[in-house]
Amino acid sequence: MAESFDVLTPLVTPFDADGDLDVDGLKSLVRHVATTGVDGIVPCGTTGEFETLSPGEYRTVVRTTTETVPEDCRVIVGTAATDVATVHERMAFAAEQGADSTLVVPSYYGGQASGAGNEAYFESVLADVPLPVYLYNIPGAVGQELSVDTVAALAQSDAVAGLKDSSGDLPYVTAVLNQTPEDFTVYQGHDGLFVPSLVLGGDGGVSALSHLLYSELERAGTAVANGDVAEARAVQRKILSPLSEACAEFGFAPTVKALLADRGIIDHATVRPPRDSLSPDAVASVTGLL
């Protein structure tokens, strides 16, 4: 079991009622999340709707996050793109702004790449990187799995710090843990598997629910570290899993934004197409769960 663990927040990107970037809302949200005690913040990831941001908005989100976050809270910037040059450009900008590391997915257009193709893509990405890199396995969004063999091969690089896995596939996590070095960090990206991943030896989670439930995640992780399986199981089953299922049903960004807006932490629950805001009934359902 994990003796220590991290909880990081995949930050939503606040928009105003018209769908424009809400910079003041972003600053306020970063301060809110950081004061809960999370170990790090991850802007411009999947929950941050990175693919809907213009290049200028992307830079504004990265700059605003790094300028607002306290020194003791890490920043891992999502730098996904379909071409290596853009990934490198985003990595360089993240480094200039003082980010601690970056998060990179496989190229997400063109169908199922071969293992050799994905390795070649990441080897190109990893050439002369300015920051440590976390690999990101999210087949539901990318359209392909980052294979265990590819992760194991890339884990030998000094530039690769670890993996965020959002596949929801616990055997995949087990295989990665078995085939990578002890110092290779494995973060769970699926809130419904936070406790099981820690029990297997994972290093924590990049948890959308940490926007609002950091204390519960900390409670569950501490219970795992202390060998209190009953406590960890209770938090996972009664709190984390039901809300995680709601996020999976309605979408993580729309659901988290609805919860944050209901609590007055952000002004609007606006999301950009192709995501859709929750209906009033769905909002009532998820806020009732919270």
185-232 pLDDT, tens digit per residue, is 999 999 999 999 999 999 999 999 999 999 999 999 999 999 999 999
Contact between 42 and 80 under an 8 Å Cβ cutoff? The reply is no
CA 222 to chain centre: 21
Rounded-to-integer distance, Cα 142 and Cα 139, Å: 5
What pLDDT is recorded for position 182? Answer: 95
pLDDT digits (tens, 9 = 90+) for 92-145: 999 999 999 999 999 887 666 777 888 889 999 999 899 999 999 999 988 888
pTM (two decimals): 0.96
Non-local (6+) Cβ contacts of 130 within 8 A are: 91, 92, 94, 95
Contact between 282 and 269 under an 8 Å Cβ cutoff? The reply is no
What pLDDT is recorded for position 273? Answer: 96
The residue count for the chain: 290
238 is catalytic: no
What pLDDT is recorded for position 290? Answer: 85
Non-local (6+) Cβ contacts of 289 within 8 A are: 242, 243, 246
Q: What is the mean pLDDT of residues 248-253?
A: 94
Torsions phi, psi for 9 (to 5 deg): -105, 120
Instruction: Write the CA distances from 178 to 100, 136, 167, 188, integer angstroms.
Output: 26, 18, 17, 15
pLDDT digits (tens, 9 = 90+) for 158-189: 999 999 999 999 999 999 999 999 999 999 99
Per-domain residue ranges of the chain:
6-217
What secondary structure letter does DSSP report for 41? E
Check 58, 136, 187, 214 and give the catalytic one: 136
Beta bridge partners of 77: 102
Contact between 189 and 165 under an 8 Å Cβ cutoff? The reply is yes
Rounded-to-integer distance, Cα 44 and Cα 61, Å: 7
CA-based diameter of the chain, in Å? 50
Contact between 127 and 92 under an 8 Å Cβ cutoff? The reply is no
pLDDT digits (tens, 9 = 90+) for 2-24: 678 999 999 999 999 999 999 99
Check 134, 164, 214, 257 and give the catalytic one: 164
Q: Is 47 annotated as a binding residue?
A: yes
- We find that the CATH architecture of domain 6-217 is Alpha-Beta Barrel (3.20)
What pLDDT is recorded for position 1? Answer: 58
Contact between 103 and 75 under an 8 Å Cβ cutoff? The reply is no
Q: Is 174 annotated as a binding residue?
A: no
58 is catalytic: no
